[in-house]
Structure 1
Amino acid sequence: MASHGVPRAATREQRTVEARKKELQEIEQYRSLVTDIQDGVNKKDFSPELLEKTSTLLRKNPEYYTIWNIRRRIFANELDSLSAQVESQQLAEDKKYSQVLDIIHLDLQFLFPLLLQYPKCYWIWNHRVWLLQQATIHLPSEKARSLWEDELKLVGKMLTRDSRNFHGWGYRRTVIDSLESTSLSGRSMARDEYDYTTKMIGQNLSNFSAWHNRSRLILRILNEEHASAEERKQMLDEEIKLIQKALFDPYDQSLWFYHQSLMSTFDPETAAASMAPELSNDDRLGYVKAEQEFIEDLLEDAEDSKWVYQALMECALIEARLTGGLSADVRTKIRGWLVKLKELDPLRSGRWADTEQVLLKDTAFREQSS
Structure 2
Amino acid sequence: MHGRIKVRTTAEQEAIKKVERAKKVIQYKAAINLVFQKRKDKIYDDEMLMVTAEMVLQNPDINTIWNIRREAFEKNNWTSEEYEERLNKELRLTENCLRENPKSYGVWHHRCWIIDHLSKPDWKTELSLCAKFLNFDERNFHGWDYRQHLVKKAGISDEEEFEFSTAKIVKNFSNYSSWHYRSKILSKMFPDKSGKLPINPEKHKEELDLVMNATFTDPTDSSAWFYQRWLLDYNKSSSNALWLAKVTKNKIIIIFHDNTKIKADSITLVRKCVKQDGSIVENDMNSNVNWYSYNNKDLSRVWIAQSTTFLDDESDVENNEISSETMYIKFGNEIYDLHKSKESNSWYYKSINLPVEKHNDDQLKEQMDNYKQLVEMEPNNKWAILTGIFLMKNYDSVKYHEKILQDLSALIKIDSLRANYYADIRSKYIIDNKLLTFWQEENNFEMNSVIDLSNLELTNLYNEHFFSIFEQINLSGNQLNRSLHRLVALQNCKKLLLSNNKLKNLKNFPILPNLEYLSLRYNELTNIEEILNLLKHHNIITLDLRDNPLWNTTLVPQQILNIYPNLEIQMD
TM-score computed with the length of structure 1 as normaliser? 0.76
SS at match of 1:251: coil
Cα distance between partner residues in 2 of 1:71 and 1:192 = 35
Aligned twin of 1:169? 144
Instruction: Answer yes or no: is 1:250 the counterpart of 2:219.
Output: yes
| Higher Cα Rg, which structure | 2
**C-alpha separation between the residues in 2 aligned to 1:107 and 1:6?**
44
CA contact (8 A) 2:162 2:182 kept: yes
* Alignment-derived partner of residue 348 in structure 1: 421
Instruction: Please point out which of 376, 381, 384 is paired with 1:308.
Output: 384
CA distance in 1, matches of 2:205, 2:238: 18
Q: Given the superposition, is the C-alpha separation of residues 263 and 14 from structure 1 closer, same or farther in structure 2, using an over 3 Å criterion?
A: closer
Counterpart for residue 59 of structure 2: 61
Deviation at 1:256, TM superposition (A): 1.2
Question: Cα distance 1:3–1:35, how it changes in 2: closer, same or farther (>3 A)?
Answer: farther
Amino acid at match of 1:167: H
Name the CA distance, whole Å, in 1 between partners of 2:372 and 2:14.
61
Match in the other structure for 1:184 = none
Deviation at 1:11, TM superposition (A): 3.8
Alpha-carbon distance between aligned partners in 2 of 1:219 and 1:259, rounded to the nearest angstrom: 14
Cα distance in 2 between the residues matched to 1:215 and 1:284? 23
Choose the corresponding residue for 1:102, options 63, 67, 85. Answer: 85
Q: Is the 8 A contact 1:132 1:148 kept in 2?
A: no
1:58–1:67 contact (8 Å) kept in structure 2? yes
Q: Greater relative contact order: 1 or 2 (C-alpha under 8 angstroms, separation 6 or more)?
A: 1
- The offset of 1:74, in angstroms, is 0.8
Aligned 8 A contact 1:206 1:254 in 2: yes
Q: In the alignment, what sits opposite 1:200?
A: 168
2:47 aligned partner: 49
Instruction: Give deviations 1:165-194, integer Å, cap 9, x for gaps.
Output: 1111111111112123xxxxxxx6111111
Aligned pairs for 1:274-289 (under 5 A) are 284-289=360-365
Kindly indicate whether the alpha-carbon contact (under 8 Å) linking 1:132 and 1:147 is maintained by their aligned counterparts in 2.
Answer: no
Q: Partner residue of 2:408?
A: 338
Q: Match for 1:252: what amino acid? A: D
Counterpart residue type for residue 110 of structure 2: H
Whole-angstrom distance in 2 between the partners of 1:294 and 1:22: 63
Offset from partner CA, 1:80-114 (integer Å, 9 cap, x none): x24xxxxxxxxxxxxx4432321111111122121
Matched, 1:127 2:107: no
Structure 2 contact 364–395 (Cα < 8 Å) conserved? yes
- Residues matched between the structures, number: 314
Paired residue type of 2:141: F
TM alignment of 1:119-268, pairs within 5 A? 119-135=102-118, 139=119, 144=120, 146-180=121-155, 189-223=157-191, 232-247=200-215, 248-264=217-233
Task: Kindly indicate whether the alpha-carbon contact (under 8 Å) linking 1:320 and 1:365 is maintained by their aligned counterparts in 2.
Answer: no
1:291 matches 2:291: no
Structure 1 residue 299: Cα displacement: 1.1
The structure-2 alpha-carbon separation of the partners of 1:25 and 1:291, relative to structure 1 and needing over 3 Å to count, comes to same
C-alpha distance after superposition, 1:7-35 (max 9, x if no partner): 98x84323322221121111111111111
Amino acid corresponding to residue 270 of structure 1 in structure 2: K
Q: Which amino acid aligns with 1:158?
A: F
Match of 1:317 among 389, 393, 404: 393
Structure-2 separation of matches of 1:357 and 1:331 = 8
1:91: which partner in 2?
none
Q: Tell me the residue number matched to 2:22.
A: 24
Output the CA distance in 1 between the equivalents of 2:86 and 2:4.
Answer: 57
Match of 2:236 among 252, 266, 270: 270
TM-aligned CA deviation for residue 264 of structure 1: 3.9
Deviation at 1:67, TM superposition (A): 0.5
Shift of 1:240: 1.4
Instruction: Give, in whole Å, the separation in 1 of the partners of 2:142 and 2:226.
Output: 19
Length-normalised TM-score, structure 2 = 0.50
Are the counterparts in 2 of residues 288 and 315 from structure 1 also a CA contact under 8 Å? Answer: yes
Alignment-derived partner of residue 35 in structure 1: 33
Cα separation, 2, equivalents of 1:72 and 1:59: 16
Instruction: Call closer, same or farther: CA 1:298–1:44 in 2, change over 3 Å.
Output: same
The Cα shift of 1:305 comes to 2.4
Task: Call closer, same or farther: CA 1:202–1:309 in 2, change over 3 Å.
Answer: same
- Structure 2 residue identity aligned to 1:58: V
Listed as ranges, the gaps of 5+ residues in structure 1 are 83-95, 181-187, 274-280
Match of 2:346 in 1: none
Shift of 1:3: 9.1
Gaps of 5+ in 2: 240-356, 439-572
Deviation at 1:236, TM superposition (A): 2.1
